[in-house]
């Protein structure tokens, strides 16, 4: 057990004994990570903030069930992902759900050097295409992609977090990246000014 896990263990045990301040320290340690996890899954700042805060509220209510001998964040992650998936299913439209992640992936794809006005428009269009493409991914593939590309976790870490074999992680990433590559190529090849309908 490393020092971080030992600290988590002590905080969990104190929280289970009724010390709210101890749980508050866990919130401080993991709020940012929980927020960015939610942002990667739902793509909206306000929703991600609400969902990550709700995850901690639920975690506090269920603190008696935490296994202090195991890392805290993987346990919390399961609450975050459940909330995010339920939230996504409840949305009537997901057209703009992953704008922030799409922007980040587009920047990664096209670089960060200064752009001409035409290139700026091209990047904006690509961001919209990537956002839409991510939103169309199956939930499991989208989640795996976010953990790898947005959270920068290693394959083994993703496998352990999701409770799946490394081979499954790799296959999900392959399908997700292939879908995104197709969308990016289609966006670049599409004549300018042509609107893309949702049913295409």
Q: What is the pLDDT of residue 96?
A: 47
pLDDT of 198 over the 50 cut: no
Cβ neighbors of 41 (< 8 A, separation 6 or more) are: 48, 80, 81, 84, 85, 88, 142, 143, 146
pLDDT band for position 75 (50/70/90)? Answer: very high
User: Which segments of the chain belong to CATH 1.10.1740.10?
Assistant: 3-90
User: Which segments of the chain belong to CATH 1.10.10.10?
Assistant: 99-189
CATH topology of domain 99-189: Arc Repressor Mutant, subunit A (1.10.10)
The alpha carbon torsion through 81, 59, 74, 67 (nearest 10 deg) reads: -150
The winner for highest mean pLDDT among 23-27, 86-90, 157-161, 172-176 is: 23-27
CATH 3.30.70.100 fits 3-90, yes or no: no
pLDDT of 15 over the 70 cut: yes
Q: CA-CA distance, 9 to 1, in Å (whole number)?
A: 10
User: What is the length of the chain?
Assistant: 200
With beta carbons less than 8 A apart as the criterion, state whether 145 and 134 touch: yes
């Amino acid at each position: 057990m490393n020092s971080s896990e030992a600290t988590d263990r002590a905080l969990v045990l104190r929280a289970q004994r009724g010390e709210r301040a101890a749980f508050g320290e866990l919130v401080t340690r993991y709020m940012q990570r929980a927020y960015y996890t939610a942002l990667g899954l739902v793509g909206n700042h306000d929703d991600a903030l609400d969902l990550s805060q709700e995850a901690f509220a639920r975690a506090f209510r269920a603190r008696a069930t935490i296994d202090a001998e195991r890392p805290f964040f993987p346990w919390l992650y399961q609450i975050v992902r459940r909330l995010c998936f339920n939230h996504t299913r409840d949305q009537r439209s997901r057209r703009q759900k992953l704008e922030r992640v799409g922007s980040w992936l587009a920047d990664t794809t096209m670089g960060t050097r200064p752009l001409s006005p035409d290139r700026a428009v091209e990047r904006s269009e690509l961001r919209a295409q990537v956002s839409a493409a991510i939103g169309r991914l199956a939930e499991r593939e989208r989640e795996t992609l976010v953990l790898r590309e947005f959270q920068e976790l290693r394959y083994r870490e993703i496998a352990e977090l999701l409770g799946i074999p490394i081979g499954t992680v790799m296959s999900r990433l392959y399908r997700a990246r292939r879908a995104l590559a197709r969308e990016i190529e289609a966006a670049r090849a599409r004549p300018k000014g042509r609107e893309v309908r949702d049913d295409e």
